[in-house]
């Protein structure tokens, strides 16, 4: 479970994230939706402990990530918007390296890596240096490595942007599967269609503030009064014509 309390991040005088409050329950697939520059990545970096908040707190499964960073981070699998890989490692070496960071026992790690290679259809690519990979293939390795310690919480920043269709299909499938198995998933996206396809609940963020929060079902129901057009409704929320919090 992720609990965010009065979370704020300032860069100089600029408020990138403005007093956010949010609870994401275990087993929930939560979509963090909003235009570019809304504050999604900054929020995610505070949730994953990469940025210290200017004020407020992030509680991961009961632990304040600022006070118990190592324990709290061990629950999380994080996939950044621009995955960082080591160019001179093969995909396989990178997965072993990531597993090693979590201190996973060798034989368990070997099994997990074999499964991940299958799930992500990495095939012979696994033996090639990651510098040779396409964006889709890099993203597949990044997600596989984020799942290596079987995290209960998956935080993924703009996963589908720039992915080829087969990578996008694989990524969506694995995220859905993990959610069905009970993982908590926080996914940011500026694409309404992706949120609609995957999420149970969404929050719309703009200028660092949550301006709308609801279950996807309510969000869809809500739009019937607005011609049933989700895209149109979303744009109205963003242009401040509609502000609400429904459940």
Q: Examine residue 227 and tell whether it contacts ligand ADP (CB under 6 A).
A: no
Residue 127: contacted member of Mg ion, ligand ADP, none (CB under 5 to 8 Å, by partner type): none
Residue 42: contacted member of ligand ADP, Mg ion, none (CB under 5 to 8 Å, by partner type): ligand ADP
Nearer Cβ to ligand ADP (42/223): 42
* Torsion sign across C-alpha atoms 67, 73, 74, 75: positive
- Name the burial class of residue 120, with classes exposed (0-12), middle (13-18) and buried (19+) by CB atoms within 10 angstroms of its CB: buried
Q: Going by C-beta distance under 8 Å and a sequence separation of 6 or more, which residues neighbour residue 30?
A: 24, 184, 185, 186, 187, 199, 200, 201, 202, 203
Residues in contact with ligand ADP, counted by CB under 6 A, come to a total of 10
Binding characters for ligand ADP, 7-26, by CB under 6 A (x = yes):
----x----x----------
Nearer Cβ to Mg ion (156/230): 156
Strands 184-189 and 244-245: unpaired
Place of tokens 């090639």: 128
Q: Examine residue 41 and tell whether it contacts Mg ion (CB under 5 A).
A: yes
Nearer Cβ to Mg ion (41/223): 41
Nearer Cβ to Mg ion (41/130): 41
Nearest approach in angstroms of CB 148 to ligand ADP is 25
Q: Going by C-beta distance under 8 Å and a sequence separation of 6 or more, which residues neighbour residue 145?
A: 94, 95, 98
What is the C-alpha separation between 112 and 67, in angstroms, rounded?
A: 30
Q: Could you tell me the CA-to-CA distances from 179 to 29, 97, 108, 151 in Å, in that order?
A: 6, 26, 22, 11
Rule CB under 6 A: which of 34-63 touch ligand ADP? 34, 36-42
Residue 39: contacted member of Mg ion, ligand ADP, none (CB under 5 to 8 Å, by partner type): ligand ADP
Q: Examine residue 98 and tell whether it contacts ligand ADP (CB under 6 A).
A: no
Q: Examine residue 162 and tell whether it contacts ligand ADP (CB under 6 A).
A: no
Token pair recorded at residue 157: 């920043």
Place of tokens 């004020």: 55
> Which chain residues interact with ligand ADP by CB under 6 A?
11, 16, 34, 36-42
> Which chain residues interact with Mg ion by CB under 5 A?
40-41
């Amino acid at each position: 479970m992720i609990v965010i309390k009065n979370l704020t991040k300032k860069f100089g005088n600029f408020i990138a994230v403005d007093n956010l409050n949010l609870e994401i329950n275990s087993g929930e697939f939560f979509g963090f939706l909003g235009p570019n520059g809304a504050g999604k990545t900054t929020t995610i970096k505070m949730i994953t402990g990469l940025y210290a908040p200017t004020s407020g707190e992030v509680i991961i499964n009961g632990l304040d990530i600022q006070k118990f960073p190592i324990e709290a981070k061990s629950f999380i699998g994080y996939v950044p918007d621009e995955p960082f890989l080591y160019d001179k490692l093969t995909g396989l070496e990178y997965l072993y390296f990531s597993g090693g960071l979590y201190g996973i026992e060798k034989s368990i790690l070997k099994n997990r890596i074999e499964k991940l290679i299958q799930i992500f259809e990495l095939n012979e690519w696994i033996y090639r240096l990651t510098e040779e990979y396409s964006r889709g293939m890099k993203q597949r390795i990044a997600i596989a490595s984020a799942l290596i310690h079987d995290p209960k919480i998956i935080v993924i920043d703009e996963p589908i942007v720039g992915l080829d269709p087969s990578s996008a299909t694989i990524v969506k499938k694995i995220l859905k599967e993990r959610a069905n198995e009970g993982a908590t998933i926080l996914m940011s996206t500026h694409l309404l269609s992706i949120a609609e396809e995957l999420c149970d609940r969404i929050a719309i963020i703009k200028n660092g503030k949550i301006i709308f929060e609801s279950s996807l079902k309510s969000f869809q129901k809500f739009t019937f009064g607005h011609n049933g057009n989700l895209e149109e409704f979303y744009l109205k929320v963003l242009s401040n014509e509609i502000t609400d919090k429904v459940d």
